[in-house]
Amino acid sequence: MGRRALRRAGDVPPALAGLQRLGEEIERLEQVPTARTGAAAPGVARQRRHRNWRRRVLTGAVSLVALVVVLAVSAYGYIRYEWDKIPSHACPSCADAGSGPYNVLLVGSDSRAGDTGAAAQAFGSATQVTGQRADTIKIVHVDPAAGTARILSIPRDTFVTLSGVSPASGLSSRNKINAAYNDGPDSLIQTIHNTFGIEISDYVTIDFAGLSNAVDALGGISMDFPYPVRDDDNGNNNSGLNIPRTGCQTIDGAQALALARSRYFQYYADGYWHSDPTSDIGRIERQNLIIEAMGDKAKSTLNPFTINSFLSAIGPHMSRDDNLSIGKMRALLQQYHAFSGQVPTYLLPTVPATTSAGDALIVQEPQAQEMIATFLGGPPDPVTTPPLAADGLPMSVPSAGSSASGSGSVPGAQAAATGGSAAPTTGGTGATTTTVAPSRPTSFDPVPC
């Protein structure tokens, strides 16, 4: 495509206007006659041929740059089109972080509504499930100025007072935190803020099929399995996890989803199957490893020409708040590329107990508030509905105080932030608690490769 064709089409990007004017000036100068007779001397003819060659090179360069710019603009336009198709909703409880640090809530929903593929077959149809629950709850804290991020996981069975849930739901206000998602993200955001003092600026939700499609859109993820693994609950493989061979291998969306959801994880060693004694805690760690593997694959795979197919695959299974623009998401992805090493992960400290909501997890204080202050890099907001003790009464929540400096006053907190592991501590009741999630997997967990 030459300059005249671009001018006729009116498609010359503004950034190329200077290059085009330079080419036109060169062409004008070359049209000046070299002799009054109109006949060119041999030397002049050679100069003309040289100038014509330079003009063709310049014209080709301008056309090539124009093509690249037009394709990039078109790709970005399609990405915006796909992003705008993702359902968005108002978020009255979302905070405006301005240009400072902000928190994004990531929710893995157990909703099967609209699923007709592998996820529906593996986990049941929508008619078998009443309401919806937050299968996975993670908060990503992003500090744009420092170029850092870290992830806090809240176990789905944490015993709390629900906020913002409609009385028509029939749910008890003293419940597991995953029940707060019954009425949607806003009630979960209110519950997190009122219980832990963490403000949420944006949210993204994804259902079962969305995670599976996301992994498939990336071409699978690479995980190194030290042992064969499966999900087994007294002979029932609830999640569908079944990896029979060891080593680094690519797993598809169905197996990645099964690994992320396995609550009865087993690995085969020494001639028999062993169960993961940490149950949901180990499940959270494996979810973090899957996120890490997806991030590694995305950094090497996604570009403006393939990200639209990625959004197209997962868009129907996602939702977001209406303030989470494609520009902010693009900036977040660009910042993620700048993160060095593994993103630090934290796990809210809890212990198991029997409650009015059944078997649940009780938040450990003061470790929880101290960890949250380390995670946020500053003190959380005041708590208005403290976590619940096993008897259903509100717990005493101390001020985060000096731990807000991020120096890691929680035993093991600084180790987690730098890739170490947390040491268990013993509370006043004699129960052993872990103050932070181990940032290294246990020996039987698969790792990105």
Tens digits of per-residue pLDDT, 110-142? 764 444 444 444 443 333 334 678 889 999 998
Q: What is the pLDDT of residue 438?
A: 38
State yes or no: pLDDT of 324 exceeds 80. Answer: yes
Backbone angles phi, psi at 247, to 5 degrees: 100, 175
Q: Within 10 Å of residue 76's Cβ, how many Cβ atoms?
A: 15
> Is the domain of 411 the same as that of 308?
yes
More confident residue, 429 or 211: 211
Last residue of a domain, one of 85, 115, 133: 85
**Residue numbers of the domain that contains 288:** 88-213+281-448
Helices (H) and strands (E) in the chain, counts: 12, 20
Q: Closest Cα to residue 372, out of 343, 410, 334, 336? A: 410
d(CA 412, CA 120): 40
Q: Which amino acid is at 444?
A: F
Q: Residue 434: pLDDT band by 50, 70, 90 thresholds? A: very low
Residue 218 lies in a domain: no
Count how many domains the chain has: 2
Q: Closest Cα to residue 105, out of 91, 87, 119? A: 91
d(CA 413, CA 375): 9
| DSSP H/E element including 358 | strand 358-363
Last residue of a domain, one of 85, 117, 140: 85
Q: Which of 79-93, 163-177, 246-260 has the lowest mean pLDDT?
A: 79-93
Q: Are strands 447-448 and 221-225 parallel, antiparallel or unpaired?
A: antiparallel
Residue 258 lies in a domain: no
Residue 55 lies in a domain: yes
Residue 37 lies in a domain: yes
The answer to whether the CB of 404 falls within 8 A of the CB of 384 is: no
> Is the domain of 101 the same as that of 68?
no
Mean per-residue pLDDT, 380-399: 92
Q: Tens digits of per-residue pLDDT, 349-372? A: 999 999 999 999 999 999 999 999
Q: What is the pLDDT of residue 387?
A: 97
CATH number at residue 107: 3.40.630.190
Residue 259 lies in a domain: no
> Is the domain of 122 the same as that of 29?
no
d(CA 150, CA 220): 24
More confident residue, 155 or 54: 155
Q: What is the pLDDT of residue 83?
A: 81
> Is the domain of 52 the same as that of 165?
no
Q: Of all residues in the chain, what percent are helix, strand and coil, respectively (each to 5)?
A: 40, 20, 40
Q: What is the pLDDT of residue 48?
A: 62
In this prediction, what percent of the chain has a pLDDT beyond 90?
Answer: 43
d(CA 267, CA 273): 6
Q: What is the pLDDT of residue 50?
A: 62
> Is the domain of 73 the same as that of 92?
no
Residue 244 lies in a domain: no
> Is the domain of 136 the same as that of 149?
yes
Residue 26 lies in a domain: yes
Q: Within 10 Å of residue 98's Cβ, how many Cβ atoms?
A: 8
Q: What is the pLDDT of residue 46?
A: 61
Backbone angles phi, psi at 368, to 5 degrees: -65, -50
Q: Which of 109-123, 154-168, 219-233 has the lowest mean pLDDT?
A: 109-123
Q: Residue 75: pLDDT band by 50, 70, 90 thresholds? A: low
Can you list the alpha helix ranges (DSSP code H) found in 172-248? 185-196, 208-217
Residue 376 lies in a domain: yes
> Is the domain of 166 the same as that of 81?
no
The answer to whether the CB of 18 falls within 8 A of the CB of 35 is: no
CA 2 remoteness from chain centre = 43
Q: Residue 409: pLDDT band by 50, 70, 90 thresholds? A: very low
Q: What is the pLDDT of residue 276?
A: 92
> Is the domain of 48 the same as that of 177?
no
> Is the domain of 149 the same as that of 162?
yes
> Is the domain of 148 the same as that of 289?
yes
The answer to whether the CB of 201 falls within 8 A of the CB of 102 is: yes
More confident residue, 39 or 393: 393
Mean per-residue pLDDT, 233-239: 92
> Is the domain of 387 the same as that of 443?
yes
d(CA 213, CA 350): 32
How confident is the prediction for the chain on average, in pLDDT? Answer: 77
Q: What is the pLDDT of residue 336?
A: 55
| DSSP H/E element including 206 | strand 202-206
- Rounded to two decimals, the pTM is 0.73
Last residue of a domain, one of 39, 65, 85: 85
Strands (E), 60-170: 88-89, 102-109, 134-143, 148-153, 159-161
> Is the domain of 81 the same as that of 15?
yes
